[in-house]
Amino acid sequence: MKKLITALSLILTVVAGSSALAVGPGKTLEFTGSPMGTVIFDGTVHKNAGLTCSDCHNPEVFPKMKQGTVKITMNDLYAGKYCGRCHDGKKAFTIKDNCTRCHHKAAGK
């Protein structure tokens, strides 16, 4: 029984550690599907701004933490949900009329 508990503890530690580092410094996430272009989330930029993973990855900001499980709309952001919670022009740059800070169109398109 002690070996089973030790093994489960080790597995949970690895899983928790790997998810916390999913978008750490030097890593990015790309969200495609927007006609405005791909949205790129840069872990380094947010870390350099003094944020930790739990600042966003908590039930108040992102109730589901797996990419693709939350449909984010601009109306949600304007209403202060998800990224719009900080990107309001006070805590971080405003998203309103600032499309290219997040949306990047591929060259030639």
| For residue 69, pLDDT beyond 80 | no
Q: What is the pLDDT of residues 13-25, one digit of tens each?
A: 434 443 343 566 6
| For residue 8, pLDDT beyond 50 | no
Q: What is the pLDDT of residues 39-55, one digit of tens each?
A: 988 888 888 999 888 88
CA distance 73 to 81: 9
The correct answer on CATH 3.90.10.10 for the domain covering 23-104 is yes
Q: How confident is the model at residue 100 (pLDDT cuts 50, 70, 90)?
A: very high
Q: Which pTM does this prediction carry? A: 0.67
Q: What is residue 24's predicted lDDT score, i.e. its pLDDT?
A: 61
Task: Look at the alpha carbons of 44, 47, 52, 57 in this order and tell me if their dihedral is positive or negative.
Answer: negative
